[in-house]
Amino acid sequence: MLKINLATKLTLLRVLLVPIFIVLLEIESVWTSIAALIIFAVASITDFFDGKIARKYNTITTLGIFLDPLADKLLITSAFVCFVGMYSLSIPAWMVICIIAREFVITGLRFIASSKNISIPASIHGKFKTTSQIIAIVIILLIIIIKSVMAEFYFTTPYDLFELTGIQYFCGWCLLKLPFWLMLIVTILTLYSGVAYMLEHKSIFKEEPEK
């Protein structure tokens, strides 16, 4: 029987939270949006602790190595795909396609490296990319919650704030336009990190001379 250590259990928990997160976002109400934010926060925290626990207690396993990046990609791409389906966010599909395509390319790069017994460590570009994605998702989830609260309890919309001036106008702009610009920044950073990875490890694609 396969024994699963604590670090891997946390990673599995993150995977299991993904469908719950998706369902909560799809319902689009105040309380489900708040619950989705909490679920995302819990999942992100497990991402921080599972690696730390595995390294501290030397319980790094093949299953954990496989599941950890998979869980991360499932959680983040699920959020982005759900955001595209929300018309009020005005996030174009091409941005998410670019982000997912980058992950496919880098996964392929790692597969080729693995076939040549070459290890590709995490880079600062990749960590910065992941951090920017998490920050963007949290901010967009907060915007979704605020817009839901306005619609349900204050009988107004962010568009109404554009008729006002000063701080009200700025708040309306943030609620309506900020998701697009956040995603644009994330997309650029994601593509940049992918290109940096490819250039840094381009030697992997060199064909070995036949013996």
pLDDT, tens only, 110-164: 778 777 777 666 667 778 888 899 999 999 999 999 888 887 776 666 666 666 6
CA distance 129 to 207: 30
The CATH class, in words, for 6-205 is mainly alpha
Rounded to the nearest integer, the mean pLDDT of the chain is 83
Q: Which residue has the higher pLDDT, 8 or 19?
A: 19
CA distance 52 to 203: 31
CA distance 45 to 17: 12
Buried b (16+ CB within 10 A) or exposed e, 68-86: beebbbbbbbbbbbbbbeb
Q: Give the pLDDT confidence score for residue 162 in this predicted structure.
A: 64
Q: Which residues contact 102 (CB under 8 A, 6 or more apart)?
A: 190, 191, 193, 194
